[in-house]
């Protein structure tokens, strides 16, 4: 089984979409997959599905399997802050890790964090800190493909020093000069850069037999 921790360079870069599309492709190819969103916050007035619902649809799970009901916070702020403002009890990273139920006979286990690497995820740590508990085979860092992504990627990989990081440029357009240049520059600097979920799914499919992405 390959365990992946998904983080983003920031909020709204498309972590959930990349995760759902990658896992959907792997599942369609016959691989067994599962996703977890240990904690999530959201706008209760929005008509859009929650991250857990999107990941559940892609993997064939229930949303309550992806994110425990008690870890849903109807306030669009970092989850620990949302919990405080909602007057509910806080939690630690170890609590989130203990609640991760890993199904048997999986090929890919996907754990999605919140916001950017330093976004609060528990009272004692952030999204990057969760890696110490999950111990993923690789971190999938989702970044926008456009202006600013070089800086965002360089800063966002620092909290994951010593770990394998796969950078996924979301919304990559091969016809866009900025997107192509960003990809070439990051690759030239030694980053492992993939141009969207299709390339990530292909990489994982080819790696499953070896156990390492």
For residue range 45-73, list pLDDT tens digits in order.
999 999 999 999 999 999 999 999 999 99
Instruction: Report pTM.
Output: 0.95
Q: Residue 213's pLDDT is what?
A: 65
Helices 15-28 and 51-59, axial angle in degrees (round to 10) = 10
pLDDT at 4 over 90: yes
* Mean pLDDT along residues 136-150: 97
Q: Residue 42's pLDDT is what?
A: 95
Torsions phi, psi of 105, nearest 5?
Answer: 55, 45
Catalytic residues: 37
- Of 102, 191, 110, whose CA–CA distance to 143 is shortest? 191
- Rounded CA separation 170/133 (Å): 27
Q: Residue 209's pLDDT is what?
A: 73
pLDDT band at residue 43 under the 50/70/90 scheme: very high
pLDDT at 86 over 70: yes
pLDDT, mean over the chain = 96
Residue 209 C-alpha from the chain's centroid:
22
Q: Residue 104's pLDDT is what?
A: 87
pLDDT band at residue 139 under the 50/70/90 scheme: very high
- Rounded CA separation 170/191 (Å): 15
Kindly give the pairing relationship between strand 138-144 and strand 165-170. Answer: parallel
């Amino acid at each position: 089984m390959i365990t992946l921790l998904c983080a983003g360079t920031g909020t709204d870069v498309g972590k959930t979409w990349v995760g759902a599309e990658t896992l959907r492709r792997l599942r369609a190819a016959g691989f067994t997959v599962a996703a977890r969103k240990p904690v999530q916050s959201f706008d209760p007035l929005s008509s859009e599905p929650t991250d857990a619902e999107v990941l559940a649809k892609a993997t064939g799970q229930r949303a309550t399997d992806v994110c425990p009901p008690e870890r849903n916070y109807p306030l669009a702020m970092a989850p620990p802050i949302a919990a405080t403002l909602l007057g509910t009890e806080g939690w630690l990273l170890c609590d989130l890790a203990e609640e991760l139920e890993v199904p048997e006979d999986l090929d890919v286990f996907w754990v999605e964090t919140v916001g950017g690497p330093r976004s609060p995820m528990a009272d004692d740590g952030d999204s990057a800190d969760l890696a110490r508990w999950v111990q993923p085979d690789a971190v999938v860092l989702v970044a926008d493909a456009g202006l600013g992504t070089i800086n965002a990627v360089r800063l966002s990989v620092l909290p994951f020093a010593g770990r394998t990081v796969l950078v996924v440029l979301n919304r990559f357009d091969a016809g866009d000069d900025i997107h192509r240049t960003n990809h070439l520059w990051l690759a030239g600097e030694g980053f492992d850069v993939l141009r969207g979920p299709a390339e990530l799914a292909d990489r994982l499919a080819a790696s499953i037999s070896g156990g390492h992405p």
